[in-house]
């Protein structure tokens, strides 16, 4: 886990969302981005890479969505929640689809099992944040 909460606590402006929910989502976004990057590379290093093409593609997309979301949610100043809500929804969808794909390979590839867990954790943190975002 990371330390997004430390930075939210020292911020000169007040977050409109409870810090623990926001920090959890930021931490999971960066963790999932790193894990998906590593899982795509691990799949690429497998002897049967040709069977893992869809997994690699979804890993890369999930990574991109998570990084954008983690970066955007790391900012508190002048947050526009219509922008952030749409991005968190995109991240949640990417995590759902990538996590489901990794789960299929989780039984015989440990990196896909770890990655499926990271996607699931990020998906849940995105959902918790969506529930907490001001209407």
Binding positions for its own copies, rule: CB under 8 A: 1-4, 6-8, 10-13, 26, 30-31, 33-35, 37-39, 41-42, 44-47, 49-50, 53-54, 56-58, 60-65, 67-68, 70-72, 74-80, 82-84, 86-87, 89-90, 92-94, 97-98, 109-111, 113-115, 118
For 38, residues 6+ apart whose C-beta sits below 8 A from its C-beta are 111, 115
Least Cβ distance, residue 17 to its own copies (angstroms) = 15
Of 38 and 128, the one with the shorter C-beta distance to its own copies is 38
Of 46 and 132, the one with the shorter C-beta distance to its own copies is 46
Angle among Cα 81, 85, 88 to the nearest 5 degrees reads: 135
Q: Where are the alpha helices (DSSP H) in 45-109?
A: 53-73, 81-105
Q: Which DSSP letter does residue 16 get?
A: S
> Residue 118: which of 53, 37, 45 has the closest Cα?
37
Q: Are 62 and 98 in contact (CB under 8 A)?
A: yes
Least Cβ distance, residue 14 to its own copies (angstroms) = 10
Of 76 and 128, the one with the shorter C-beta distance to its own copies is 76
């Amino acid at each position: 886990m990371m330390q997004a909460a430390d930075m939210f606590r020292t911020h000169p402006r007040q977050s409109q969302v409870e810090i623990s929910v926001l920090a959890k989502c930021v931490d999971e976004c960066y963790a999932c981005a790193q894990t998906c990057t590593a899982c795509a590379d691990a799949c690429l290093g497998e002897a049967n890479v040709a069977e893992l093409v869809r997994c690699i593609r979804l890993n890369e997309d999930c990574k991109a969505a998570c990084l954008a979301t983690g970066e955007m949610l790391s900012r508190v100043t002048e947050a526009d929640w219509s922008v952030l809500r749409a991005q968190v929804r995109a991240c949640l969808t990417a995590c759902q689809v990538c996590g489901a794909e990794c789960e299929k390979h989780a039984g015989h590839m440990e990196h896909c099992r770890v990655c499926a867990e990271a996607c699931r954790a990020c998906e849940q943190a995105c959902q918790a944040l969506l529930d907490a975002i001001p209407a």
